[in-house]
Amino acid sequence: MVQSSKAFVENAASALEDAGLQKALGRAKPQFAKKRQAAVDRLPEFETLRDEAKAIKDHAIAHLDFYLETYAAAVEASGGHVHWCATAEDARQAVLKICLAAGAKTVTKGKSMVTEEIELNPFLEAHGVTPVETDLGEYILQLRHEPPSHIIGPAFHLNREDWESTFRAAHTDLPAERVFSERRDILTEARGKLRETFLAADVGITGANFLIAETGSSVIVTNEGNGDLTQTLPRVHVVVTSIEKVVPTVEDALALLRVLARSATGQDMSVYTTFSTGPRRAEDPDGPSEYHVVLLDNGRSGMVGTEFQDMLRCIRCSACMNHCPVYGAVGGHAYGSTYPGPMGAVLTPMLVGMEEAGHLPNASTFCGKCESVCPVKIPLPNLMRHWREREFERHLTPAALRGGLGVWAFLARRPALYRATTRVAALGLSWLGRRRGRFGWLPFAGGWTRSRDFPAPEGDTFFAQYAARRKEQG
Amino acid sequence: MPKQAMLAAIRRGLKRGPLTADAQAMLLGHMAHHPRHTVPGRGQLHPAGRGALFAQMVEREFGTVARLPALADVPGAVAAYLRTQNQPPALVVSPHPALAGLDFSGLAARAGSAAAHDAAALTYAFAGIAETGTLMLPSGPQTPIVNNLLPDNAIVVVEAARIVASYEDAFDLLRQAGAMPRNVMLVTGPSRSADIEQTLELGAHGPRRLHILIINGAV
């Protein structure tokens, strides 16, 4: 997708004024947290499993070179092919080459964030291959030419009216006077439309939630069944995935699956969890005759050994964004990046550079909720803090902010002067605001007072009050 | 070689070269053992409890369950189910030996793989998993994958003796049975989507209904 992370502040402002978006956010946000909590409460071992999930991923990353080689060897042994791709461009070329070799005109796609990351769809279209998204949410976004706004509920920013109008505009072969009396009617129409495509497609592209070194399997998780149809019906199955998804054994994947769905949708288990290993066997009645894995790096190896290595544990459950007050206020599009929310704010600067996305780690109140719900315990607030430090070091923060921090630092290093200055300010503001108890406007604080009043200090500073109290107690 | 360049970049980050032969042997040994992590207590019940938990979890996930004394009762149960769902008395039956000897007279039954127009399919599960009411459906000559996906009504036979406690138990059975099949589907309830306004609707791309026949399932 086109990156507009630089414009986060402007994007966020317009998101706050978007009535449709605010309606969708208001509906969805409390649901996410409630469902996750209920699923966690049903499983007494959940906290133990979080620790184990973290340890599994830490171990896999610490031996990533070994497990990737072992995984690739197992894929080849089962008759599949692995395409190692250092960059997004390498991955796009690899997918195109497979499609052209298969003589593909239509390609069905299961939901895959990595294909969003490498902007695969426009690339395939430009080369005469038509990709069709089959996840219901991704399907409508493709019709609307919009990027996803959430990593597991891509179209959750849309309301029912949007679905109806988009389907009417796109499916012109159906009677114009048809009525969508229930949500089910929308679903049924999409199911009918996509059935034809599933049966006609030459190549099916899916992502992977996990790769298993022991067996050379890729694992996908869906609720709709679209991923399974995508990888079963066409002649060629392409898995587009990234290097940090590999785990050693089936048992490791099972432990991670126990925390994935619960953290994501609050289900105990997604409806379809499918392990795919190589192409169809000689005696199989169905399945693809070719199986390819496009294995993407795109900046991830550069995170190994840095303070951002923890981010490679991410299993893309979306719990962090589902519980984030900033995401909950502005939605996913404001981030202007493939991955929104706290995990996106940490990952995006690594993928597209700090100049483009250095702003995103500022989109946090540091409330810590994201870290507390992360199934693999990624210290997201800390990682955002690391990015802020880097942003400051590289002089990417605005001059006014740097100036203000400079003045504050000058005072903070001189305690007596600091106390005197703050005391004058507190007493002065207290006197100025003595009538209303608050300020509707203050110099240098326009960003605050434009949308709310600033309370006037009630008397002296903390230091002065503390000193006075100590004196009283003798 | 992009592969070597990617591996080298990872090793630079890890601040080491390729693993020594000893270290590799240790990790391979670990993989050969594939030890389990914590298995939730609710997945460690005695056999009768497992069947009950399995049925309860299936129903929680919007599937339905019938318990039958013997395999021979399957055709009657299928006919009754299709009738109550207002479905035509027709289905495609997976070419599994356990289903091959059944008498489907009165039903238009065809053995083989489902096509787009088939409204119902009967398949045979490799195992049931009690902890979440999950079916293990591996691909193979006797179990076409399309039968799990294309028809609106998925009817699945599972033997009570094959209802295990946990995912790990089911994969142990699968490992004993031989090499990893092309597909191993773990299916928990009928297909669904909540993409429209976060509201759950059943019957997205896969079956709208999932009906499970537990054989010898009397508790």
- Average pLDDT score over residue span A447-457: 82
pLDDT tens digit sequence for A356-389: 888 899 889 999 999 999 999 999 999 999 999 8
Residue A2: pLDDT over 80: no
pLDDT band at B43 (very low <50, low <70, confident <90, very high): low
More confident residue, B116 or B78: B78
Residue B44: pLDDT over 90: no
Where b means 16+ CB within 10 Å and e means fewer, A95-130 reads: bbebbeebebebbbbbbbbbbbbbbbbebbeeeebe
Contact: A183, B199; criterion CB under 8 Å:
yes
- CA angle A438/A442/A448 to nearest 5° reads 80
pLDDT tens digit sequence for B51-83: 999 999 999 999 999 999 999 999 999 999 999
Contact: A271, B189; criterion CB under 8 Å:
yes
- Tokens of residue A197, six digits: 């495509």
Q: What is the dihedral of CA A71, A73, A74, A76, to 10 degrees?
A: 120
CB atoms within 10 A of CB B123: 25
CA distances from A319 to A36, A82, A261, B174 (A): 8, 31, 10, 32
Which range (A13-27, A171-185, A242-256, A421-435) has the least confidence?
A421-435
Number of domains chain A contains = 2
Q: Is the domain of A275 the same as that of A417?
A: no
- Average pLDDT score over residue span A183-197: 91
- Average pLDDT score over residue span A245-258: 98
Q: List all residues of chain A from 301 to 330 with a beta carbon under 8 Å from chain B.
A: 301-306, 309
Residue A446 is predicted with a pLDDT of 77
- Average pLDDT score over residue span A408-424: 90
Which range (A96-110, A330-344, A418-432, B64-78) has the least confidence?
A418-432
Contact: B141, A45; criterion CB under 8 Å:
no
Q: Which of B27, B112, B198 sits opposite A31 (nearest CB)?
A: B198
Residue B212 is predicted with a pLDDT of 98
Is A268 within a domain?
A: yes
pLDDT band at B219 (very low <50, low <70, confident <90, very high): very low
Which range (A18-32, A373-387, A438-452, B112-126) has the least confidence?
A438-452
* Residue B142 forms contact with A (CB below 8 Å): no
pTM above 0.80, yes or no: yes
* Residue A262 forms contact with B (CB below 8 Å): no
Q: A20 forms bridges with which residues in the sheet?
A: none
Q: Of A270, A298, A326, which one is at a domain's C-terminal end? A: A298
pLDDT tens digit sequence for B143-195: 999 999 999 999 999 999 999 999 999 999 999 999 899 999 999 999 999 88
Residue A27 is predicted with a pLDDT of 85
**Furthest CA-CA distance within chain A:** 91
Q: Is the domain of A292 the same as that of A407?
A: no
Gap between the Cα atoms of A311 and A314, Å rounded: 6
**Best CA proximity match to A334, nearest among A16, A117, A99, A51:** A16
More confident residue, A323 or A462: A323
Structural domain boundaries, residue A467: 400-473
Q: Terminal CA-to-CA distance of chain A, rounded, Å?
A: 66
* Residue A43 forms contact with B (CB below 8 Å): yes
Helix, strand or coil for residue B13?
helix
Q: Of A298, A320, A337, which one is at a domain's C-terminal end? A: A298
Residues in chain B: 219
Where exactly are the structural domains of chain B? Answer: 1-34, 45-215
- Average pLDDT score over residue span B85-100: 97
The torsion angles phi and psi of B136, rounded to 5 degrees, stand at -100, 115
pLDDT tens digit sequence for A119-156: 999 999 999 999 999 999 999 999 999 999 999 999 98
Contact: A226, B205; criterion CB under 8 Å:
yes
Percent above pLDDT 90 for chain A: 74
Q: What's the CATH superfamily of B45-215?
A: NagB/RpiA/CoA transferase-like (3.40.50.10420)
Is A108 within a domain?
A: yes
Mutate to test the interface with B, among A52, A54, A69, A272 (most CBs of B within 10 A): A272
Contacts of B144 in chain A (CB under 8 A): 285-286
Gap between the Cα atoms of A389 and A383, Å rounded: 10
Residue A394 is predicted with a pLDDT of 82
Contact: A223, B198; criterion CB under 8 Å:
no
Contact: A223, B193; criterion CB under 8 Å:
yes
Is A152 within a domain?
A: yes
Contacts of A62 in chain B (CB under 8 A): 14
pLDDT band at B126 (very low <50, low <70, confident <90, very high): very high
Contacts of A306 in chain B (CB under 8 A): 13
* Residue B145 forms contact with A (CB below 8 Å): yes
CATH of the domain at A266: 3.40.50.10420
Is A281 within a domain?
A: yes
**Best CA proximity match to B44, nearest among B166, B170, B188, B159:** B166
- Average pLDDT score over residue span A269-295: 97
Q: Which of B10, B23, B198 sits opposite A28 (nearest CB)?
A: B198
- Average pLDDT score over residue span A94-110: 97
Contacts of B189 in chain A (CB under 8 A): 271
Can you give chain A as a three-state secondary structure string? CCCCHHHHHHHHHHHHCCHHHHHHHHHHHHHHHHHHHHHHHCCCCHHHHHHHHHHHHHHHHHCHHHHHHHHHHHHHHCCCEEEEECCHHHHHHHHHHHHHHCCCCEEEECCCHHHHHCCHHHHHHHCCCEEEECCHHHHHHHHHCCCCCCCCCCCCCCCHHHHHHHHHHHCCCCCCCCCCCCHHHHHHHHHHHHHHHHHHCCEEEECCCEEECCCCEEEEEECCCHHHHHHHCCCEEEEEEEHHHEECCHHHHHHHHHHHHHHHCCCCCCCEEEEECCCCCCCCCCCCCEEEEEEECCCCHHHCCCCCHHHHHCCCCCHHHHCCHHHHHHCCHHHCCCCCHHHHHHHHHHHHCHHHHCCHHHCCCCCCHHHHHCCCCCCHHHHHHHHHHHHHHCCCCCHHHHHHHHHHHHHHCCHHHHHHHHHHHHHHHHHHCCCCCEECCCCCCHHHHCCCCEECCCCCCHHHHHHHHHHHHC
Q: Which of B24, B149, B188 sits opposite A232 (nearest CB)?
A: B149
The torsion angles phi and psi of B126, rounded to 5 degrees, stand at -70, -40
**Furthest CA-CA distance within chain B:** 70
Residue A458 is predicted with a pLDDT of 81
Q: Is the domain of A60 the same as that of A170?
A: yes
Q: Of A298, A325, A356, which one is at a domain's C-terminal end? A: A298
Is A35 within a domain?
A: no
pLDDT band at A1 (very low <50, low <70, confident <90, very high): very low
Residue A232 is predicted with a pLDDT of 95
**Best CA proximity match to B141, nearest among B124, B159, B116, B119:** B124
Residue A373 is predicted with a pLDDT of 98
Is A360 within a domain?
A: no
Contact: A224, B198; criterion CB under 8 Å:
no
- CA angle B55/B58/B62 to nearest 5° reads 135
Residue A61: pLDDT over 90: yes
Q: Would you give the distance in Å from CA A98 to the centre of its chain? A: 28
Q: Are A259 and B176 in contact (CB under 8 A)?
A: no
Q: Is the domain of A289 the same as that of A431?
A: no
Can you give A144-210 as a three-state secondary structure string? HCCCCCCCCCCCCCCCHHHHHHHHHHHCCCCCCCCCCCCHHHHHHHHHHHHHHHHHHCCEEEECCCE
Is A373 within a domain?
A: no
Gap between the Cα atoms of A447 and B161, Å rounded: 67
Gap between the Cα atoms of A458 and A455, Å rounded: 9
Helix, strand or coil for residue B192?
strand
Chain B closest-CA separation from residue A225 CA (Å): 5
Contact: A232, B183; criterion CB under 8 Å:
yes
Q: Which of B1, B6, B196 sits opposite A187 (nearest CB)?
A: B196
- Tokens of residue A285, six digits: 């009645």
* Residue A183 forms contact with B (CB below 8 Å): yes
- Average pLDDT score over residue span A298-321: 96
- Tokens of residue B135, six digits: 């079916």
Gap between the Cα atoms of A251 and A439, Å rounded: 60
- Average pLDDT score over residue span A252-274: 97
Is A382 within a domain?
A: no
Q: Are B121 and B112 in contact (CB under 8 A)?
A: no
Q: What is the mean pLDDT of chain B?
A: 94
